[in-house]
Amino acid sequence: KAGVTQTPRYLIKTRGQQVTLSCSPISGHRSVSWYQQTPGQGLQFLFEYFSETQRNKGNFPGRFSGRQFSNSRSEMNVSTLELGDSALYLCASSLENQGTGQFFGPGTRLTVL
């Protein structure tokens, strides 16, 4: 069974630009969560989607948004990039986010210059 895939793996942008990251979950997994990981803050929850609906949201500004498609694939978008948005963005999928573990993709390394 294929794991969680994320594209692109690396991205370099400049301040003020916007970026879209993509995540394909494990087949059959309908819950997709996004996290931001930085050395100082650790893993911070961004949002979770289940059956195309945002079910939960972390404490991030509105510049961070996401969506999920009918095939469970998900995208997250960051608008008006800031230097502090440089991080590893991780996507994780699970069967139903009901007490089962999450399986992570390799992440997208975003660098904002």
Partner 1 sequence: EDQVTQSPEALRLQEGESSSLNCSYTVSGLRGLFWYRQDPGKGPEFLFTLYSAGEEKEKERLKATLTKKESFLHITAPKPEDSATYLCAVQGNYGQNFVFGPGTRLSVLP
Residues that bind partner 1 (CB under 8 A): 4, 33, 35, 42-43, 45, 48, 55-56, 58, 88, 90, 92, 97-107, 109
Question: Which residues of the chain form beta strands (DSSP E)?
Answer: 5-7, 10-13, 19-24, 31-38, 42-50, 53-57, 64-68, 74-78, 87-94, 103-104, 108-112
Tokens encoding 85: 């948005």
Cβ-based nearer residue to partner 1, 36 or 78: 36
Min dist CB 85 to partner 1, Å, is 18
Min dist CB 16 to partner 1, Å, is 27
Cβ-based nearer residue to partner 1, 5 or 17: 5
